[in-house]
Structure 1
Amino acid sequence: MKKITALALIAITLVACKKETKTITRVDPKTGKTETVTVEVSAEEAAKPKAIADSSGVYKQKFILEKGVTYPLVSYQREIQSLTTPDGKTISGTNETTDEMSVTVNDFKDNIYDMTLNMVGKRMSSSANGKTVVIDTKQSAPKEESLKMDYMVSKGLAGNKLSVKMDIYGNIKSITGFESVHNNLRKAIAGTIREKKQQDAIIENFKAGFNEEMMKEQLSKNLKLIPSKGTKIGEKWTTSEDIDPNGKLKQTLTFTLVKVEDGKAEISVTGVIPSKSDKQSKDGMTHTMSMGGSESGKIIIDENTGWLLNQNLSVKTNQKESLSDGKQTQSMSKNATTSIIINPSYK
């Protein structure tokens, strides 16, 4: 009996000494860099509600963010292409893009977060045939004339801010501040493009791809990651979106909540890019094309805040083309692997 009591006391002591910790990803206010750190959790904080919480085994997502804290939202994309020409030669190239953004929580009132979306900077690089060209808003303009316009546009965007209103469930209510962004962009290109009509054309073209509707969709995809009705461990759900202008070809992604533990929720992602083929004949020549692909990866969410810690997706596509006159056939193929990562510094 004494031995059993002693073992029980040791067990109680070990439990009492063990401190709960959590892993958080944040923007260091001094350096501006994104960092992932493990911090101790007080008993009071451990007792607080979780952002990813379950009721009868059904997990739902909401956001429990801290006022004054800046949360990272850095997007990185790398595409590696391999092209096989009709004469059998292989040409390879790599394109990389980093959009550095973050979100600062200004206030929280009536279940609505008042936040600032910080557009910190952008970097693009392209490598092929042993040569690399770079556009980086944190560096001087590239020497290549063909890259200077892209640099000016990216430079005009860096440092801008948008105001975001979001409810605790991740629904984006409004995004404002675009007029200021457009004005700053106009100033950035004015030194090179002096004709107002040309400036207007560039601004209007930019507005078509950078507006409230587009940004709402982008933020929602990156933040609202679990269905509103909730989901169970191992349960699947799907999303579908058009990948051609006619809406005839759709890509369906399947998500599965794998686990919720150690302060994190993990979601697996799988999908197939439907095969598409086309055959056209004209003037005795027949052109044939086929393409398809797949997507896979995972998403990690902070259980305590509901914020996206990391997304790492891989998209693989293959395309084949041939041209024939009935006697001879020339063929060409292109394979591409694209990595899409949110918050790449997450460990």
Structure 2
Amino acid sequence: MQKQLLVTFDYELFLGNRSGHIHDCMIEPTNRLMAIMAKHKIRSVFFVDTTYLLRLKKQAENSTQCAADFKTVATQLTDLVKQGHFVYPHVHPHWLDAIYDEKTNQWQLNDTAKYRFHNISDSEKAMVFNGSVKILEEILHPSFPDYKVNAYRAGGWCIQPFSDFKPYFHQNKIEYEFSVLGGIYQFTDAQYFDFSNAPQKTIYRFNDDVCVPESDGPFTQYNISSIPLSNNKLMLNKLWLKLLYKIKGDHTFNKGEGQPSRILNGIKPVSDKGHDLSDTHWERISVELLTAVKMSAYKNFLDQNKYMHFISHPKMITNHNLVVFDNFLDWAFEKYSVSTDFHSMLPE
């Protein structure tokens, strides 16, 4: 039986008081992931925080540390494409207000006023989006002159309203979109999205609204998968993680610190069938959330569905996550014929 397994990553630092370093948050965990991808011959997708790259390149004019970091990241991105993976933009606009600390070689992103693309000026929109496509082309085209930067994922899933993005999609020939976390919504002072009315379809074309399928639309949406979790499963997982930390010291590779956001009260989603992102009983499918306790739920999902879309963050992944993910892939590829190249996954 044929299955479609879409493995995607948001390649980024922490977006808060302390960004962490590229080696801990991006380079080392991505190298570990690349080894697993190579073992299973998976073609994964890395959505790169290109707003960070734009700031890093600018700061590199006056900082040897930033210049070295930019070169290291560019080398890894080139290696990813060389190994058959895909690299595309992932925009977090509040990098425009980030503060660099030369002593620690880290960044502060405490100001989230510009977290959403919707909240920045038209000139900033053009600079950030067009610059994001251009900087990836500058990195990749010397080795891969025909590589197309034609897919996108919005930072924090904030792809709404799509009217903000549509002109830049056309201008930069973006064809594929990966931001919709179907059935999920969140309204905070930073993130603001509502996919509660997204279609049940896994892959579909659209035009003006990422939640409204149009069979002749110019863009293709790849819906991110999520699963329900029972109270018993959540409690057992909590105990399991505590045990792992106590016995093995299992933790992420990073030393960064994110930024908490404030819930905006009184806002209702367009559909009462959706789930708040903070609802732990309904969880996106992700490498950093996959544990031995949840393995059966992930297997059950793939058994019951043709399409499974992981969204993960190298900065959040632990050794245990890597082991369990590898075991899951062993099971999936042994049981099914698995396709991983999103280009071969056609709209419903």
Q: TM-score range by the shorter chain?
A: under 0.3
Highest RCO, 1 vs 2 (Cα 8 Å, sep ≥ 6):
2
Structure number having the greater strand percentage: 1
Structure number having the greater helix percentage: 2
TM-score, normalization by structure 2: 0.26
Larger radius of gyration: 1
